[in-house]
């Protein structure tokens, strides 16, 4: 029988919800490009439930245990004495989320002698050492497109929050004030600004489509150029590299995968080429930005604001400087784990496991690594290598 080791984030501090704010969520049939939503044989949960925390178990326990398989669910993932590390040596399948990633480093993969499949319940598999997975012929899969629209909505929200100085204004209300001048001294109209996305894949293109009605000037760079029809429809300006794009943009949104080619892309040199007073929104991966370079750029005024929900490592230690840097709009990594998104990535995770257990092919669009090489979405979006170095710092996080 198969042992499935699943790492999920902790339950709410006030206890697992007995009721929800809404009775249901909209039912979708297809994603914007026509790809169907996950198609498992069945699901053992009601869409809209909290599935991504430990008590939710992605709705997998009944399905797996009815077939005699073992499911271990934990949030204890970091450090040599974590439950994840103890359970890993005899695990056949590892499931993890980008929001609370179980880092599958080369060292951990060496200990996982039976590991055959690593699933990302969500999108973005950079918490796996893809090079080591290829060398061990471990299949890496993720639930492509499951939360791309969720993230794109979050991007638009964060852009407006920065440009309109929403967060400090809200805080004045909480403090009992009516300090209008303090609120508007860093508030601008979004209309007419130049906005660019680093990558225009599923998330980046969805962001561009949502920004079009704001009457802004749209730019993008990507190693795969969009069709001319799409460029004309959205009025896009294409840039062959990130340097040429950031020079003209008032707002830059980062929507590319993390791999060796994008690691620390936004460093001191690139930030110095941006327009003074521009904004950065990063819902891709924290390590695409040089942590300390972002802090320096905010303190100097080179950038006017930085928002996002991705950090490195995750969770970040209490002394991570992004918690206290000026003019930020950071959140925990939540953009892709709304209750709506959880229903899709839980169903997609089950679809992948059903294929694995049944000896059937996993959807090509779900594949990142297969048969010792980048495959499917992985071949389109990633480069070979490892982006997990430094992830051991996550063990320094202390719950509050």
Digit-coded pLDDT (tens) for 334-359: 999 999 999 999 999 999 999 999 99
Residues 48, 111, single domain; the answer is yes
Residues 162, 310, single domain; the answer is yes
Residues contacting residue 212 through CB under 8 Å, at least 6 positions apart: 218, 234, 235
Residues 216, 322, single domain; the answer is yes
Residues 152, 142, single domain; the answer is no
Three-class secondary structure of residue 266 per DSSP? strand
pLDDT of residue 400: 73
Residues 190, 251, single domain; the answer is yes
Task: Enter the pTM of the model.
Answer: 0.97
Closest CA to 254 of 286, 229, 223, 277: 286
Handedness of CA 195, 197, 200, 205 (dihedral sign): negative
Could you give the residue numbers annotated as active site?
Answer: 147, 285, 314, 333
CATH number at residue 88: 3.40.50.720
Residues 281, 342, single domain; the answer is no
pLDDT digits (tens, 9 = 90+) for 307-344: 999 999 999 999 999 999 999 999 999 999 999 999 99
pLDDT by position in tens, the chain (length 400)? 999 999 999 999 999 999 999 999 999 989 999 999 999 999 999 999 999 999 999 999 999 999 999 999 999 999 999 999 999 999 999 999 999 999 999 999 999 999 999 999 999 999 999 999 999 999 999 999 999 999 999 999 999 999 999 999 999 999 999 999 999 999 999 999 999 999 999 999 999 999 999 999 999 999 999 999 999 999 999 999 999 999 999 999 999 999 999 999 999 999 999 999 999 999 999 999 999 999 999 999 999 999 999 999 999 999 999 999 999 999 999 999 999 999 999 999 999 999 999 999 999 999 999 999 999 999 999 999 999 999 999 999 988 7
Domain that holds residue 254: 148-330
Distance CA 203, CA 260 (A): 20
Residue pair 333/308 in contact (Cβ under 8 Å)? The answer is: no
Domain count, the chain: 2
Q: Are strands 3-7 and 70-74 parallel, antiparallel or unpaired?
A: parallel
Residues 342, 280, single domain; the answer is no
Residues 169, 105, single domain; the answer is no
């Amino acid at each position: 029988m198969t042992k499935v080791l699943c790492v999920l984030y902790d339950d709410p501090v006030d206890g697992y919800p007995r009721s929800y704010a809404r009775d249901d969520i909209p039912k979708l049939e297809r994603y914007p490009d026509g790809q169907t939503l996950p198609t498992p044989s069945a699901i053992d949960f009601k869409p809209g439930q909290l599935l991504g925390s430990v008590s939710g178990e992605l709705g997998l326990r009944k399905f797996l245990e009815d077939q005699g398989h073992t499911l271990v669910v934990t949030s204890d993932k970091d450090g040599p004495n974590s439950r994840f590390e103890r359970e890993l040596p005899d695990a056949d399948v590892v499931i993890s989320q980008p929001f609370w990633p179980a880092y599958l480093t080369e060292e951990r993969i060496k200990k996982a002698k039976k590991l055959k499949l690593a699933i990302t319940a969500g999108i973005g598999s950079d918490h796996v050492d893809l090079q080591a997975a290829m060398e061990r012929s471990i299949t890496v899969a993720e639930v492509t497109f499951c939360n791309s629209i969720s993230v794109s909505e979050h991007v638009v929200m964060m852009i407006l929050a920065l440009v309109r100085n929403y967060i400090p204004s809200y805080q004045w209300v909480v403090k009992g004030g009516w300090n209008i001048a303090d609120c508007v001294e860093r508030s601008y109209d979004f209309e007419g600004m130049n906005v660019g996305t680093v990558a225009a894949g599923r998330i980046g293109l969805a962001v561009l489509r949502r920004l079009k009605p704001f009457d802004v000037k749209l730019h993008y760079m990507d190693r795969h150029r969009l069709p001319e029809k799409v460029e004309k429809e959205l009025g896009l300006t294409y840039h062959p590299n990130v340097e040429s794009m950031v020079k003209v943009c008032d707002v830059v949104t980062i929507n590319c995968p993390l791999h060796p080619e994008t690691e620390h892309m936004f460093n001191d040199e690139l930030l110095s080429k941006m327009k003074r007073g521009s904004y950065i929104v990063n819902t891709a991966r924290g390590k695409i930005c040089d942590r300390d370079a972002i802090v320096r750029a905010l303190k100097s005024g080179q950038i006017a604001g930085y928002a996002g929900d991705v950090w490195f490592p995750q969770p970040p230690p209490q002394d991570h400087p992004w918690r206290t840097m000026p003019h930020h709009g950071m959140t925990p990594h939540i953009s892709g784990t709304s209750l709506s998104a959880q229903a899709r990535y839980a169903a997609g995770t089950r679809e992948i496991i059903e294929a694995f257990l049944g000896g059937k092919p996993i959807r090509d669009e779900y594949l990142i690594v297969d048969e010792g090489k980048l495959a499917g979405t992985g071949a389109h979006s990633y480069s070979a290598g490892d982006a997990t170095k430094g992830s051991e710092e996550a063990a320094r996080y202390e719950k509050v």
